[in-house]
Amino acid sequence: MTKVFEKSPAFFDTFTRKPSMQKTTHYCPGCGHGTLNKIIADQIAELGLQDQAIFVGPVGCGVFIYYYFESASVSAAHGRASAVATGVARANPDSVTISYQGDGDLAAIGTSNAIHAANRGENMIVFFVNNNIYGMTGGQLAPTTLIDQTSTTSPTGRSIVNDGYPLKMAEMMAGLEAPTLVARVGVNTPKNVRQATKVIKKGLEVQRDKKGYVFIEVLSQCPTNWKKDPKDSCDWIDEVVCQQYPLGIFKDLVDERGEVKRRAERVEFDALAEQLGLTTDDEDNTQKIEMLQDELRFKFAGFGGQGILSLGMMVSQLSMERNMEVTWLPSYGPEMRGGVANCSVVVGKKAIGSPAVENPHVLVALNRPSLEKFGPLVAKDGLIIYNSSLIDQVPDTLSGRVYPLAATDLASEAGNVKAANVVVLGFVAQKTGMFSLADLEGFLSETFKKPALLEINLKAARAGWDVAEKV
């Protein structure tokens, strides 16, 4: 005798992931989920996709989808199945990723994740089970509940004024550019089941062929929460629900779309080193910088745009290349507004504690507010270098060694006012004895690849150096 009907091999024979009653499902009698599960299982089996399939389960009546399908499965937080499925699909480019979500899950709490997964054209098929109600939590109003339909949170019926309109997800998804196939089907009549089967098969083929995102909305009956018997529920879909949610294919680009391949590769360290621009270490014989003290603390301050942060970075980079410990800390928050930018740099022979510089040994002030703010904080016998091109009056409270440096003018003479920070670099290098002129020239040649720019900066550095030698 020929077998004409059997349980799909894509299902477990015994539902071993279910804690009890392992031969029956958890769905209520007359529920549409069971029919939909069967169609999906049959088509997975027919297309031979069981081993590639990864199910992402929702929170709602579909929460236990993994009881039934003998495939790798993961359960997502409420509303997050499309986001979880994104992680799964990106990690497993060969998978057939199936996100199975209800109307509260996908169309309320998880709408954003659902729409963005669709909009990225993720390789996944999303089954959106629309039964116009929250089933699992006890029949509350869903975004898809029909106007005037009663629920446990709309006891007098859905009101447009209070609850808005029923959300048409398939139509919304079809309005996006990325999805490959968007349809709405029903599982309430043999005719609708036949149509649903065709569409679902096509959707799974899209996944098999990695042709992008598929959204299939499934109108499903919920006799329990609709408070109707199973037959009336099926009829109600045809007579009422379909008026609001017409069945059909809203978008079909299956023939036009090609394979979308995304990479998930593991690489060796060599490839990483190349990506990061690392060079192999030569033996490091670089002498440390001779400094009179263990630690030299700098404050660089000026207007935004004067290259203050990069001046700090240049000193840091040069110091690091000489095997010094170094920290660079940019100013933060409200200080950045009102025209004063600053950064703290600490160069030390041993591990540096606080990277914040309160009482600098060296202050570079490129504008007047900086000089006024930080000048009085400079450590005893500290070094203050101020931009005499922009500051004509110096506060008389300053202590330490105070040097005017016409940084802006000298930079201008060198060819670009923006090189004022490099003028200062030249001056600081000479005055602190931290770097030689040759050090600076080597560093600038590495930094500025364009010859014209390099020339300006070399001139600027020498100009600063020369002034420092004379004062």
Partner 1 sequence: MKKLVKGNEAVVIGALVAGCDAYYGYPITPASEIAHAASENFLPLGKVFVQAECEVGAINMVFGAASSGQRVMTASSGPGVSLKMEGISYLAGAQLPCVIVDVQRVGPGLGNIGPEQSDYFQVVKGGGHGDYRAIVLAPASVEETYRMSIEAFDLADKWRSPVFILTDATLGQMMEPIDIREVETHRSEKPWALDAKPHSNDNLVTSIYLDFDDMEEHINGLHAKYAEISEQEAKAEVYGADVPDIVLTGYGITGRMLRSVVDQLNERGIDATLIRPQTLWPFPSRTYQDVVKPGIPVLSVELSCGQFVEDVRLALPGHKVKHYGRVGGNLPELGELVEQAEMLLQEARND
Residue among 111 and 244 whose Cβ is closer to partner 1: 111
> Is 153 or 317 the residue whose CB approaches partner 1 more closely?
317
Nearest to partner 1 of 105, 187 (CB atom) = 105
Residue 273 or residue 452: which is nearer to partner 1 going by CB? Answer: 273
Encode burial over 263-284: b for 16+ CB neighbours within 10 A, e otherwise: eeeeeeeeeeeeeeeeeeeeee
Q: Is residue 225 at the binding interface for partner 1, with CB under 8 A as the rule?
A: no
Q: Say if residues 303 and 340 touch (Cβ distance below 8 Å).
A: yes
Greatest alpha-carbon pair distance for the chain in Å reads 110
The contact pattern for partner 1, residues 276-295, with x = CB under 8 A and - = no contact, is x-xxxx--------------
Q: Which of residues 109-148 bind partner 1 (CB under 8 A)?
A: 112-113, 115-116, 120
Verify binding: residue 101, partner 1, rule CB under 8 A. Answer: no
What SS3 state is found at 231?
Answer: helix
Query: How many residues touch partner 1 (CB under 8 A)?
Result: 73
Shortest approach of partner 1 to residue 2 CB, angstroms? 28
CA nearest to 388, candidates 372, 373, 411, 406 = 406
Q: Do 328 and 286 touch, CB atoms closer than 8 A? A: no
Give min distance, CB of 313 to partner 1, in A: 7
Tokens of 208: 């098999």
Residue among 74 and 417 whose Cβ is closer to partner 1: 74
Q: Which of 11, 15, 27, 66 binds partner 1 (CB under 8 A)?
A: 66
Scan residues 158-197 and list those touching partner 1 (CB under 8 A): none
- Which residue, 231 or 262, is less far from partner 1 as judged by CB? 262
Q: Work out the angle at residue 369's Cα, subtended by the Cα atoms of residues 365 and 370, and round it to the nearest 5 degrees.
A: 30
Beta pairing class for 96-102 and 53-57? parallel
Q: Is 406 helix (H, G, I), strand (E, B) or coil?
A: coil
Chain center to CA of 359: 40
Interface mask toward partner 1 for 71-100; x: CB under 8 A: xxxxxxx--x--xxxxxxxxxx-xxx----
Q: What mask, x for binding partner 1 by CB under 8 A, covers residues 251 to 280?
A: -----------xxxxxx-x-xxx-xx-xxx
Task: Give the length of the chain.
Answer: 471
Closest approach of partner 1 to the CB of residue 206, in Å: 16
356: contact with partner 1 by CB under 8 A: yes
- Choose which of 22, 152, 159, 354 interacts with partner 1 (CB under 8 A): 354
Encode 294-359 in three state secondary structure.
CEEEEEEEECCCCCHHHHHHHHHHHHHHCCCEEEEEECCHHHHCCCCEEEEEEEECCCCCCCCCCC
| Strands 362-365 and 295-302, sheet pairing | parallel
CA distances from 52 to 84, 122, 391 (A): 17, 16, 71
Within 301-340, the residues that bind partner 1 by CB under 8 A are 313, 316-317, 320-321, 325-330, 332-333
Cβ distance to partner 1 smaller for residue 310 or 416: 310
Kindly state the smallest distance separating residue 317's Cβ from partner 1, in Å.
Answer: 5
**CA 400 vs CA 8, 260, 376, 383: distances in Å:** 88, 67, 10, 6
Q: Which is nearer to partner 1, 5 or 332 (CB)?
A: 332
